[in-house]
Amino acid sequence: MNVLFDQEKLEIRAKERKIPQFKVKQIFFELFKNQHIEWDEMTTLSNQLKDELKSDFSVLSLKCMETVEAETTTKFAFQTEDGYTVEAIIMYHWQDEKYIKNNKRKLNRITLCISSQIGCPVNCLFCVTWKLWFTRNLTWDEIISQILYANAYIFKRFGKKEDWTHRWVRNVVFMWMWEPLLNYDEVKKSVEIMLQQDRFSLGRRHVTISTAGIIPWIERLIEDKLDVKLAVSLHAPNQQLRERIMPIARRYQLDKLMEVIDRYVEVTDNRIFYEYIMIAWITDKPELADELVELLRDRLAHVNLIPYNSNPVIDLKESSEKSIQNFKRILEKGWITVTVRESMWREAKWACGQLGYERVKKK
């Protein structure tokens, strides 16, 4: 069935049924601004119009099967129309405790990590998700449905702000079920909708595409001038180790990858976020930190050190805190901007590299 936010199909149907243009605008206002995804909630639409629309359109193309809530996160498990499961997670960025007034903690901003594929074809050594195997790419409307659902959930959970404006997703990150650049056309269309002023109205710096380094599609980003933020899963400072950790590196060589990233930075002037996983005795050696400094020297770069999140189906160990901090010091001494990521949601198996753990365990 068609989705209600497919503008092209909705306008065709509106023309056939002589629905005025202002009512079409009301539909999009209900979805994107009022954050309503239930027919009964769309009070600006007449019952007659809603009845007409119901026969041709569903509001979303995904159905939420499970919601798991925590103070800093909410995880959704969605079912596609053909019966597959994809996941997304909201991250809440709360005000620092020292700024709390009247025992009320302010919610500063909200980030949503979304899926662009069912499963993952990249097969990284440390990640459990690829063990689900790759099934298919998500369509643009399945990607957008995740954001619409998240915004509606945020409205129901938190209500409006004190000034009566809405809370909604401020940052969208393609960093859940992966690899977004291998689903380029659908991801591109969904990003264009995210940036539209009368849709989600997100800024370009508030949309991040995370990639394992698919060179031809980074070149497409440059050609299409889609200058959103780019996060590159690097995980090793040299070709040999990167091939061991990420088999896809055999196809997309590190030196060629850095060349295309340099071109991307030249065109967009965007800082690149490099993801680097800290695995004991494999990626956390001091000499690798020195190599990473040399690789990123004079480049517009920010390194995120990600502690490996262990799980029973992969035989690897997390680096010690001492090793991580020593690695960080070496990068900082080489004038590389670096952050150590918090290992949030590890116990719930929601952390980086753990997505799909429950389903893999069942298998």
Q: How many Cβ atoms sit within 10 Å of the Cβ of residue 326?
A: 15
320 close to 355: Cβ distance less than 8 angstroms: no
The fold of the 62-362 domain, in CATH, is TIM Barrel (3.20.20)
Q: Is the dihedral of CA 56, 61, 67, 71 positive or negative?
A: negative
User: Domains of the chain: which residue ranges?
Assistant: 2-58, 62-362
Residue type, 239: Q
Q: What share of the chain in percent tops pLDDT 70?
A: 91
Instruction: Return the half-sphere exposure (C-beta side, CA atoms, 13 A cut-off) of residue 157.
Output: 19
Average pLDDT, the chain: 91
- Residue 102 pLDDT: 66
CA–CA separation, 264 and 209 (whole Å): 13
Task: Give the alpha-carbon dihedral of 196, 201, 203, 208, to 10 degrees.
Answer: -80
| pLDDT digits 0-9 by tens, 180-197 | 999 999 999 999 999 999
CA–CA separation, 299 and 187 (whole Å): 27
- Residue 237 pLDDT: 98
- Low-confidence spans in the chain with pLDDT less than 50: 345-350, 353-354, 360
- Residue 360 pLDDT: 45
- Residue 312 pLDDT: 72
Long-range CB pairs of 259-263 (<8 Å, 24+ gap) are: 260/215, 260/218, 260/219, 260/222, 261/218, 261/230, 261/232, 261/299, 262/299, 263/219, 263/222
Task: Give the orientation angle of helix 286-296 with respect to helix 321-333, to 10 degrees.
Answer: 30
Q: What are the residue numbers of the active site?
A: 87, 352
> Is 216 in a helix, a strand, or coil?
helix
